[in-house]
Amino acid sequence: MKVLGFAAHSATASLEPFSFERRTPREDDVVIEILYCGVCHTDLHLARDHGGYTTYPIVPGHEIIGRIRQVGAQVTRFRADQLVGVGCMVDSCQQCQPCLHGWEQNCLEGSTFTYNSKDRLDGSATFGGYSQNIVVREKFVLALPAGLDPAGAAPLLCAGITTWSPLLHWGVGAGTKVAVIGLGGLGHMALKLAKALGADVSLFTRSEGKSEDAIRLGADHVVVSSDPEQMGAVTGQFDVIIDTVPYDHDINPYVPTLELEGVLVLVGYMGPLSTPVNAGLLVSGRKAVTGSFIGGVKETQQMLDFCGEKGIVSDVEIIPIQKIDEAFDRMSRSDVKYRFVIEMSSLSV
């Protein structure tokens, strides 16, 4: 199937129109016409090869909302015309312990990602949501709850599940105190979800100007992380901290703000930290620094259903695909309110 998308051809090139072939749909596949695709900071990391493992050309995009155009003969849960979502994964082995447990993101054979990955059966390159259509194994297609704005729901497929999974795993709810570091795509979803779960929610930000928005998005308190006095005032406060900062940074100033046995969960930066973590800060108070990677298919559906019940969507700025480079530049400067979403009809004009 011939598909038009936008691709980067090198780490320094602008994204540009790119015509490519999607695999022929199989019997357990769903063919989706993409309506909206969120712009995640991971798209920027991968397009610019920050991690050193990008294969070009790359068509980014893993916050996909679209309408089903075709289903294979073995598809049972979906039918044509339904609105659905696709997130960061399109396949996994389905047999290892993590997969059987519903943790496909931790598949021991490696999950198949929506882009910059290889199809498990024919080895063809996967291309993401900055495109007209996508072909996805039914198991990895999510139902969009009725009533959710499709553009606003797109970022739930990555920013939503990536923050939901650690919030649930570490038992966030009424009576817990949660802090979020960084108010961008993941950060604003973390505020909304933690608030809806009943927690007392704080934001750590470098950007004083985001305080008013943070309160509107669900924060009860805002701490400007560059202000030592404000940092000192929250010593020993938080049960869970979700750290969404996309680049190397010193986490030591945040550890003392954890409550006894509190956890700081890294979900943003995934490389080596250049400032070593002071073990003394962890030992006294049995504090932990840990991480979390997106979420499984089942918990993604649970998160979407929760958002459907509570009417939670992302705050989005809708752009035509031709503005993607500008969106990447603004995202690099932390100037996003609070997720860019591409309107895919702009591709055909």
Residues that bind Zn ion (CB under 5 A): 40, 42, 92-93, 96, 99, 107, 158
Residues 6+ apart with CB under 8 A from 227: none
Rg, C-alpha atoms of the chain? 20
Piece in contact with ligand NAP (CB under 6 A), picked from 3-11, 122-130, 183-191, 321-329:
183-191
Q: Which residue is nearest to ligand NAP (CB)?
A: 184
> Would you tell me how many other CB atoms lie within 10 Å of the CB of residue 196?
17
22 or 221, CB closer to ligand NAP?
A: 221
Query: Smallest gap, in angstroms, from Cβ of residue 209 to ligand NAP?
Result: 9
Residues 6+ apart with CB under 8 A from 272: 248
91-99 long-range contacts, CB within 8 A, separation 24+: 91/119, 91/120, 91/137, 91/139, 91/140, 93/120, 94/139
93 binds, among ligand NAP, Zn ion, none (CB under 5 to 8 A by kind): Zn ion
111 DSSP 8-state letter:
P
Whether 70 contacts 84, CB under 8 Å: no
78 or 293, CB closer to ligand NAP?
A: 293
Q: How far apart are CA 234 and CA 349, in angstroms?
A: 51
Q: Could you tell me which of 294, 289, 296, 227 has the C-alpha nearest to residue 258?
A: 289
Which of 25, 152, 184, 296 binds ligand NAP (CB under 6 A)? It is 184
38 or 262, CB closer to Zn ion?
A: 38
Q: Does 289 bind ligand NAP (CB under 6 A)?
A: no
> Would you tell me how many other CB atoms lie within 10 Å of the CB of residue 261?
10
Q: Could you tell me which of 161, 261, 241 has the C-alpha nearest to residue 200?
A: 241
Piece in contact with ligand NAP (CB under 6 A), picked from 7-15, 18-26, 154-162, 313-321:
154-162
Query: Smallest gap, in angstroms, from Cβ of residue 8 to ligand NAP?
Result: 16
Q: Map the footprint of ligand NAP across residues 41-70, applying CB under 6 A.
A: 41-42, 45
Query: Smallest gap, in angstroms, from Cβ of residue 332 to ligand NAP?
Result: 8
Which of 178, 194, 267, 342 binds ligand NAP (CB under 6 A)? It is 267
68 or 159, CB closer to ligand NAP?
A: 159
Query: Smallest gap, in angstroms, from Cβ of residue 265 to ligand NAP?
Result: 9
96 binds, among ligand NAP, Zn ion, none (CB under 5 to 8 A by kind): Zn ion
The β-bridge partners of 205 are 224
Q: Does 185 bind ligand NAP (CB under 6 A)?
A: yes
Q: Would strands 316-320 and 16-21 be described as parallel, antiparallel, or unpaired?
A: unpaired
Length of the chain: 349
Residue with tokens 């050309």: 57
247 binds, among Zn ion, ligand NAP, none (CB under 5 to 8 A by kind): ligand NAP
Q: How far apart are CA 29 and CA 74, in angstroms?
A: 8
Number of residues interacting with ligand NAP: please give it, by CB under 6 A: 31
Q: Would strands 29-38 and 133-137 be described as parallel, antiparallel, or unpaired?
A: antiparallel
Binding site for ligand NAP (CB under 6 A): 40-42, 45, 158-159, 162, 182-187, 205-207, 210, 244-247, 249, 267-269, 292-294, 331, 334, 336
